[in-house]
Amino acid sequence: MSEHLMNTYARLPIAFERGEGAWLYDSNGKAYLDALSGIGVCGLGHAHPAVTKAITDQAGKLLHTSNLYGIALQAALANELTRVAGMDRAFFGNSGAEAVEAAIKLARLYGHRRNNPQPAIIVAEHSFHGRTLATLSATGNRRVQAGFEPLVQGFIRVPYNDIDALHTVARNSPHAVAVLIEPIQGEGGIQIPDPAYLDAVRKLCAANEWLLMLDEIQTGMGRTGRWFAHQHHDWYPDVMAVAKGLANGVPIGACLARGAAAELFQPGNHGSTFGGNPLACAAALAVIRTIEQEKLIERAGVLGARIVAGLKNAFAGVEGIVDIRGRGLMIGIETAKPIPALTSAGLQHGVLFSVQAEKVVRLLPPLVISDSEADEIVYRVATALIAAMSSAEPQAAGARR
Ligand SMILES: *Cc1c(COP(=O)(O)O)cnc(C)c1O
């Protein structure tokens, strides 16, 4: 690695040269099964021909003109994305953090329009919303915030999956205007709330005229077996942030809004030089088309169930595994304690995953994997995890009844 890169990542000692589907190849030609998809980005896997074609065709025509002019592909993407999301309008930026920033700005405008000069947004513990100043202030992780104080004001923190805490805010905080939460906490360790919690949050937001703003950056684009995770329920959010899987690796983010929230921004309120440029929009349109053509939403549900069942089987009787949980292809394996060198063990066994919140192995495999690739993920993850557990503590781990 270059000493001229800012030292923002403790990188693993490996770099990939090319990919195909769920497979990545390093500079020695060794193959790795990618069960992380570039952190939930490459839902169609690597080098999907539909995305490659969309990008190469568009690159030969037009990359960028700016938002001073009409952009036909951006309009087409807004139509498609609002159609699959059931939302009314879209704003395009270039990342997840920018999508959340737009949501935060919408909530503040919403407050000011309602004569609330100090609008506050309710956010959850253990959440992750990005690394810009406003989004790290919204994030419920001190390690993300430390060293960057003073934080952006105007956030009220509550425990996740605790509806009583939200009722307390409703009683005591007249400045609250919105709730910003992930329908499943991804960086926080695949924390899946009770379905009744999200239903109750929706109701409470309506009763208090708060905007319900969902961060679906990690859960969206088919990952959980629906286009968006809230579609496991029968209601809509007012605002939703989308990014990661939207263009399979071409940077893009979108803030979607519905009803009154969709009418808040007026010319001059918000903008982006690159946001929604023809290249990124062509890629995103290809992603949406491919997800529909290949029926990947349904597939994510089927594959997720297969992997979770396979993992439960593989870890039956293995001490130190606390929980195996998932929704579609967003899967967590929680261990009793942190396992040292776990991701390196994955590399040795040719499988890529991440570890979140110290004790949760996170799997976000591509939606395009075959049944046998799903089984291979189970096999490699289980083998790597059991190996790492037994080298960390030779007495305690291993398959024992
Ligand atoms: C990744 C992520 C973000 C930040 O996205 P960036 O593209 O890294 O800015 C925000 N929220 C959630 C839930 C995420 O998973």
- Other C-beta atoms closer than 10 Å to the C-beta of 260 total 13
DSSP 348: H
Is the confidence at residue 401, as pLDDT, over 50? no
Please state, for a pLDDT cut of 90, what percent of the chain lies above it.
97
With 0-12 / 13-18 / 19 or more C-beta atoms within 10 angstroms meaning exposed / middle / buried, residue 287 is buried
Determine how β-strand 16-20 pairs with β-strand 321-327: unpaired
Q: How far is the CA of 372 from the centre of ligand 1 (A)?
A: 30
What is the DSSP track for 220-264?
A: TTTTTSSSSGGGGSS---SEEEE-GGGGBTB--EEEEE-GGGGG-
pLDDT per residue over 168-192, tens digit each?
A: 999 999 999 999 999 999 999 999 9
Q: How far is the CA of 217 from the centre of ligand 1 (A)?
A: 6
Q: Whose CA is nearest to atom 5 of ligand 1?
A: 96
Q: What is the side-by-side strand order in the sheet with 351-352?
A: 16-20, 23-26, 31-34, 351-352
Give CA–CA dist 191/287, Å, rounded: 27
DSSP 318: B
pLDDT for 221: 98
What is the DSSP track for 12-40?
A: -S--EEEEEBTEEEETT--EEEESSHHHH
pLDDT for 1: 77
Q: Which atom of ligand 1 is nearest to the CA of 185?
A: 13
The H or E element that residue 72 is part of is helix 72-85
Find out whether the beta carbon of 130 lies less than 6 Å from any atom of ligand 1.
Answer: yes
Q: How far is the CA of 131 from the centre of ligand 1 (A)?
A: 8
pLDDT per residue over 268-321, tens digit each?
A: 999 999 999 999 999 999 999 999 999 999 999 999 999 999 999 999 999 999
Q: How far is the CA of 358 from the centre of ligand 1 (A)?
A: 19
Mean predicted confidence (pLDDT) in 321-330: 98
Determine how β-strand 211-215 pairs with β-strand 239-242: parallel
Residues 40, 44, 47, 49: what is their CA dihedral angle, to the nearest 10 degrees?
-160
pLDDT per residue over 95-130, tens digit each?
A: 999 999 999 999 999 999 999 999 999 999 999 999
Mean predicted confidence (pLDDT) in 132-157: 98
Please state, for a pLDDT cut of 70, what percent of the chain lies above it.
98
- Band (pLDDT 50/70/90 cuts) for residue 393 is confident
Q: How far is the CA of 129 from the centre of ligand 1 (A)?
A: 5
- Selected residue with higher pLDDT from 1 and 135: 135
Of 296, 217, 298, the closest CA to residue 251 belongs to: 217
Q: Which amino acid is at 267?
A: P
Which are the contacts of 125, defined by CB distance < 8 A and separation ≥ 6?
A: 140, 157, 158, 159, 160
Residues acting as catalytic residues:
128, 215, 244
- Band (pLDDT 50/70/90 cuts) for residue 392 is confident
The whole-model pTM stands at 0.97
Find out whether the beta carbon of 388 lies less than 6 Å from any atom of ligand 1.
Answer: no
Give CA–CA dist 269/286, Å, rounded: 30
Q: In terms of CATH architecture, what is 49-293?
A: 3-Layer(aba) Sandwich (3.40)
Q: Whose CA is nearest to atom 15 of ligand 1?
A: 218
Find out whether the beta carbon of 373 lies less than 6 Å from any atom of ligand 1.
Answer: no
Determine phi and psi for 113, rounding to 5 degrees: -65, -20
- Band (pLDDT 50/70/90 cuts) for residue 5 is very high
Q: Which atom of ligand 1 is nearest to the CA of 97?
A: 9
pLDDT per residue over 202-223, tens digit each?
A: 999 999 999 999 999 999 999 9
Of 3.90.180.10, 3.90.600.10, 3.40.1280.10, 3.90.1150.10, which CATH number belongs to 16-34+295-389? Answer: 3.90.1150.10
pLDDT per residue over 216-252, tens digit each?
A: 999 999 999 999 999 999 999 999 999 999 999 999 9
Q: Which atom of ligand 1 is nearest to the CA of 215?
A: 13
Q: For residue 70, give Cα distances in angstroms to 73, 74, 76, 230.
A: 9, 8, 11, 32
Find out whether the beta carbon of 217 lies less than 6 Å from any atom of ligand 1.
Answer: yes
pLDDT for 266: 97
pLDDT for 400: 47
- Band (pLDDT 50/70/90 cuts) for residue 394 is low
Find out whether the beta carbon of 95 lies less than 6 Å from any atom of ligand 1.
Answer: yes
By the 8 A CB rule, do 156 and 191 touch? Answer: no
Q: Would you list the domain boundaries of the chain?
A: 16-34+295-389, 49-293
Mean predicted confidence (pLDDT) in 51-68: 98
Q: For residue 24, give Cα distances in angstroms to 16, 42, 171, 350.
A: 6, 12, 52, 9
- Other C-beta atoms closer than 10 Å to the C-beta of 142 total 7
Determine phi and psi for 213, rounding to 5 degrees: -115, 110
What is the average pLDDT value for the chain, to the nearest integer?
A: 97
Mean predicted confidence (pLDDT) in 390-394: 80
Q: For residue 33, give Cα distances in angstroms to 26, 47, 274, 330, 369.
A: 11, 14, 33, 16, 10
Q: Whose CA is nearest to atom 7 of ligand 1?
A: 96
pLDDT for 395: 54
